[in-house]
């Protein structure tokens, strides 16, 4: 498999994970449940002291993270299949995603302290 095909597969996985994050934000808001790979298995929702507060705290952050990850995946797919974007345009979303992931980790740890 050539390198371009590997990047395309990676970009598809990134886009799907962004959609999964958005789905989990919706599911957390609607049902009060959060999916695997988003939240620590050591902290099940039944141990949450304030589910509504937790939902209100995490849903906007999950949405922001999910939308940006989905956009990064789609931009990567476009870059791989349709056009060659300049290097700066290709690298900027990766830097933004790195910042957003760090931001999400910081706030998920804060949510652990506040609600569990």
Domain ranges within the chain, ordered by starting residue: 3-34+42-115
- What per-residue confidence (pLDDT) applies to 43? 73
The phi, psi pair for 39, rounded to 5°, reads: -135, 150
What is the predicted pLDDT for the residue at 2?
Answer: 56
Q: How far apart are CA 21 and CA 29, in angstroms?
A: 12
Minimal CA–CA distance to 109: which of 46, 42, 63? 42
| CA–CA distance, 60 with 3 (Å, rounded to integer) | 35
- In order along its 116 residues, the chain shows pLDDT tens digits of 455 678 889 889 999 999 999 999 999 899 887 777 677 777 777 788 888 898 899 999 999 999 999 998 998 888 777 777 777 777 887 888 889 889 988 998 898 889 88
pTM (predicted TM-score) = 0.81
Residues 91 and 70: their CA atoms lie apart, in Å, by 15
Consecutive H or E run containing 74: helix 51-81
């Amino acid at each position: 498999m050539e390198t371009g095909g590997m990047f395309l597969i990676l970009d598809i996985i990134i886009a799907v994970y962004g959609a999964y994050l958005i789905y989990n934000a919706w599911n957390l808001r609607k049902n009060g449940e959060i999916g695997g790979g988003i939240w620590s298995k050591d902290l099940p929702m039944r141990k949450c002291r304030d589910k509504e507060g937790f939902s209100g705290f995490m849903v906007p952050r999950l949405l922001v993270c999910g939308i940006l990850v989905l956009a990064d995946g789609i931009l990567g797919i476009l870059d791989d299949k349709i056009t060659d974007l300049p290097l700066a345009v290709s690298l900027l979303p990766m830097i933004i995603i790195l910042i957003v992931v760090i931001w999400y980790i910081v706030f998920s740890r804060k949510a652990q302290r506040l609600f569990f």
